[in-house]
Amino acid sequence: MIELKEVKTKKELKAFVKFPFKLYKGSKYWTPPIISQEIKSFNTKENPVFNDAEARLFLAYRDNEIVGRVAAIVNWLEINDQNQKKMRFGWFDFIDDLEVSKTLLDKVQEIGKSHQLEYTEGPVGFSNLDKVGVLTEGFDSVACMVTWYNYPYYIKHYEAAGFKVEKTYIESVFPFENVKPEFFYKAQVVIKKRYKLEALNFTKTDDVMPYVDKMFDLFNMTYASLSSFVAINDIQKAYFKKKFISFINPEYIKFVVDEHKELVAFAIVMPSFSEALQKAKGRLFPIGFKYILDAKKKSKTADFYLIGVHPDYQNKGVHAVIFNEYYETFKARGIETCYRTPELEDNEAIKKIWKHFDPVVLKRRKTLRKELV
């Protein structure tokens, strides 16, 4: 028999965060989070997302042993401002037992119905900056830091519970040697001159910071058309600025501005931290931090995280300016592999941006949906 308990204490929250460490023990492909950071992300006093959202965390037990977990999430901005009557859920992990997954999903649906919501979708986080999707292809390659990994049996549990595919995401990879400057060098020279644009490169994080709020504004504008998008507010901007921007190599952040110094495009890339996080085993101390710093300096894989172009400049080749800047940076850093984090499979515009580099789809993941009415 499965017993479901809601997480109420610090001890239970730590158990919630650490359950996957047991589930994926021995896996060569699972990339663990930093335990302390994961715990902080559920701190309602520290994470500003809880100003407009709530999460209830549950653990499933059998014979006093944890066998599954789930976060049931309600984002009130999405519900009230966008009229998306959606019950979210994420951090959904479980042993290969249909009773376990059903018990957890039933609780998510119960909460959704109690709020008169129309459907539930997962696995997703609080916003578009969180991890997304259950892995359905690509189980034999190491997970990127910003994605969830799961065993192949997960998808059958969704299907058994009556969930249907809502969105499909792809993750692609291409060798840096596929990047030929002749595809974009001449074009970016013409584009910069025609539209009076300038590429900004950085060597210090302090120099990046004055542009970050504008970057998040442009992020909101660029991604607003996505069906699952929830805008980042001013409080969240400050939080993400502190949590993420100061951690990213400044030379991996590229901005393009117009003649008035207004931001028209941005891109954020990170060195791959997957191997470092596997070595760290969820802890920064005593030596986990060293592994991460080494990866920041020496990783030969670059993970493309975000790229956005102002609607007024889309389809005008501005991405050629960005690629030209990254080409020079990657060449200097000895980058060998470029990895694209999850992108909607039906996003034709993003496919056109990358087509010259002959990317190969390495992974597919999906979110799934079930009606509540």
pLDDT in tens, 10-59: 999 999 999 999 999 999 999 999 999 999 999 999 999 999 999 999 99
- CATH code at position 244: 3.40.630.30
Assess whether 56 and 194 both reside in one domain: no
How many whole angstroms separate alpha carbon 50 and alpha carbon 353? 35
Tokens at residue 206, please? 């302090």
pLDDT in tens, 239-280: 888 878 878 999 999 999 999 999 999 999 999 999 999 999
Assess whether 204 and 221 both reside in one domain: yes
Assess whether 154 and 193 both reside in one domain: no
Query: Rounded mean pLDDT of 91-100?
Result: 98
Q: pLDDT value at position 20?
A: 98
Read out DSSP for 342-364?
A: EEETT-HHHHHHHGGG--EEEEE
| Last residue within a domain, chosen from 122, 141, 170 | 170
Assess whether 211 and 350 both reside in one domain: yes
Assess whether 197 and 182 both reside in one domain: yes
CB-based burial label for 204 (10 Å; 0-12, 13-18, 19+): exposed
Among the listed ranges 43-47, 208-212, 227-231, which one has the minimum average pLDDT value?
Answer: 227-231
Range of the domain at 183: 175-363
Q: pLDDT value at position 227?
A: 62
| Last residue within a domain, chosen from 137, 170, 203 | 170
| Last residue within a domain, chosen from 119, 143, 170 | 170
Q: pLDDT value at position 364?
A: 98
Assess whether 262 and 279 both reside in one domain: yes
Assess whether 42 and 108 both reside in one domain: yes
* Residue 372 included in any domain: no
pLDDT in tens, 337-364: 999 999 999 988 888 888 889 999 999 9
What is the pLDDT confidence band of residue 106, given thresholds at 50, 70 and 90? very high
* Residue 251 included in any domain: yes
Assess whether 158 and 183 both reside in one domain: no
How many whole angstroms separate alpha carbon 207 and alpha carbon 190? 27
Using CA atoms in the order 60, 61, 67, 73, what is the torsion angle rounded to 10 degrees?
10
Please provide residue 7's backbone torsions phi and psi, each rounded to the nearest 5 degrees.
-70, 125
pLDDT in tens, 178-192: 999 988 999 999 999
Per the document, the length of the chain is: 373
* Residue 369 included in any domain: no
Tokens at residue 171, please? 């993750």
Assess whether 200 and 348 both reside in one domain: yes
Residue 73, helix vs strand vs coil: strand
* Residue 14 included in any domain: yes
* Residue 198 included in any domain: yes
* Residue 159 included in any domain: yes
Assess whether 161 and 217 both reside in one domain: no
Tokens at residue 28, please? 């060569």
Tally of domains in the chain: 2
Task: Reply yes or no on whether the pLDDT at 176 is more than 80.
Answer: yes
Q: pLDDT value at position 50?
A: 94
Assess whether 134 and 201 both reside in one domain: no
* Residue 370 included in any domain: no
Tokens at residue 106, please? 């039933």
% of the chain surpassing 90 pLDDT: 85
Encode burial over 22-33: b for 16+ CB neighbours within 10 A, e otherwise.
ebbeebebbbbb
Assess whether 154 and 256 both reside in one domain: no
Task: Reply yes or no on whether the pLDDT at 228 is more than 90.
Answer: no
Q: Which of 212, 331, 337, 348 is nearest to 268 (CA)?
A: 212
pLDDT in tens, 265-321: 999 999 999 999 999 999 998 899 999 999 999 999 999 999 999 999 998 999 999
* Residue 373 included in any domain: no
* Mean pLDDT, the chain, integer: 94
